[in-house]
Amino acid sequence: MHEMSLCEGVLRVIEEQAAAQDYHTVKAVWLEVGALAGVEVEALRFGFDVVMKESIAEGARLEVVDVPGQAWCMPCMKNVAIEQRFDPCPECGGHQLQVNGGEELRIKELEVI
């Protein structure tokens, strides 16, 4: 359940940015979540609502932007799509994959007042 601490991280960023970006209320948060980021989106949603209570983002909408998993296949010499970390290359079936996408866990955008 590290989703709770991730949500605390989100709140910290939101609060830190408030002065610089001149806002006092957050209505929505767009969060990029990679397929390989090790995050359970349902747990994230639950944690988000709880952590944002009594903050400048209380009741804010959480918009999850899914980022698909991607890896560089050494034998194929190209990027391939993967769903999980231990998936084989969908083209050659090998496991010599270097993950290079889908590990994101990033606040992309906010809707603020």
Euclidean distance between CA atoms 95 and 75, whole angstroms: 9
Contact 83, 35 (CB under 8 A): yes
Euclidean distance between CA atoms 41 and 56, whole angstroms: 22
Among 66, 67, 86, 100, binds another protein (CB under 8 A): 86
| Ranges within 22-41 binding another protein (CB under 8 A) | 23, 27, 31, 36-38
In the block, residue with structure tokens 């709770």: 4
Among 17, 41, 55, 72, binds another protein (CB under 8 A): 17
Would you give the distance in Å from CA 61 to the centre of its chain?
15
- 108 binds another protein, rule: CB under 8 A: yes
- 95 binds another protein, rule: CB under 8 A: yes
What are the residues binding another protein (CB under 8 A)? 1-2, 5-6, 9-10, 12-13, 17, 21, 23, 27, 31, 36-38, 84-86, 95-96, 99, 104-113
